[in-house]
């Protein structure tokens, strides 16, 4: 029917089709080796709190992407500088698409505060980068002599972490 294949139990007076030689494709010189597709993480979503960190670990396992953990407080002036001067800029946000992002305010809950202290946090902002689900997060110094890290430096750190 109009070029479509129709299955029926009734005989039809359609055209006879003669099949040509099957499997006429020449063999490959090199055998095919299966390589699974690498899922590349690229997302602007932030996860929040300790519960968000747990979800981020699941995403990390799926994509093998590093986790960017950002401990902050609303009243912290350096946190605002970090947000406005780097993390929330178009270039900063683009760099951070390659990492699973978690923002935690330890003052919001005892669980968040306990997690902050367990990871060695003592002040704000504290930024950690965890390259895989079994390694300990490593501190990333976002300020040096009260000067904010550049987007290029952040990009180098993220690229090094995603290359592992």
Distance CA 89, CA 127 (A): 17
Q: Give the bridge partners for 104, in sequence order.
A: 71
State yes or no: cis peptide before 137, omega within 30 of 0.
no
Helices (H) and strands (E) in the chain, counts: 5, 7
Q: How far apart are CA 150 and CA 92, in angstroms?
A: 9
The tens digit of pLDDT for each residue in 80-124 reads 999 999 999 999 999 999 999 999 999 999 999 999 999 999 999
User: Cβ contacts of residue 26 below 8 Å, gap of 6+?
Assistant: none
Total domain count for the chain? Answer: 1
Tokens of 12: 């039809």
C-alpha span between 108 and 123 (Å, rounded): 15
Joined together, the tokens standing for residue 96 give 């951070």
Instruction: Report residue 14's pLDDT band, with 50, 70 and 90 as the boundaries.
Output: low
3 in a domain, yes or no? no
Q: Which residues contact 124 (CB under 8 A, 6 or more apart)?
A: 71, 72, 73, 76, 78, 79
Domain span including residue 120: 46-163
The answer to whether residue 15 is domain-embedded is: no
Asked whether the beta carbons of 102 and 151 are under 8 A apart, the reply is: no
For position 142, what pLDDT does the model report?
97
Query: Which CATH number fits the domain that encloses residue 126?
Result: 3.40.30.10
pLDDT digits over 130-147, tens only?
Answer: 999 888 999 999 999 999
Select from 56, 78, 73 the least CA-distant residue to 130. 56
With respect to residue 136, please indicate whether it lies within any of the assigned structural domains: yes
């Amino acid at each position: 029917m109009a070029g479509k294949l129709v299955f029926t139990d009734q005989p039809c007076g359609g055209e006879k089709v003669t099949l040509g030689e099957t499997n006429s494709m020449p063999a490959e010189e090199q055998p095919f080796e299966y390589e699974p597709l690498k899922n590349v993480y690229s997302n602007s979503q932030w996860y929040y709190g300790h519960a968000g960190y747990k979800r981020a670990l699941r995403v990390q396992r799926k994509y093998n992407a590093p986790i960017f953990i950002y401990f902050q407080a609303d009243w912290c002036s350096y946190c605002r500088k970090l947000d406005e001067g780097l993390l929330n800029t178009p270039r900063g946000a683009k760099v951070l698409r390659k990492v699973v992002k978690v923002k935690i305010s330890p003052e919001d809950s005892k669980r968040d505060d306990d997690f902050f202290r367990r990871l060695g946090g003592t002040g704000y902002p504290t930024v950690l980068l965890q390259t895989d689900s079994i390694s300990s997060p490593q501190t990333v110094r976002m300020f040096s002599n009260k000067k904010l890290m550049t987007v290029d430096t952040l990009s180098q750190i993220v690229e090094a972490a995603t290359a592992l």
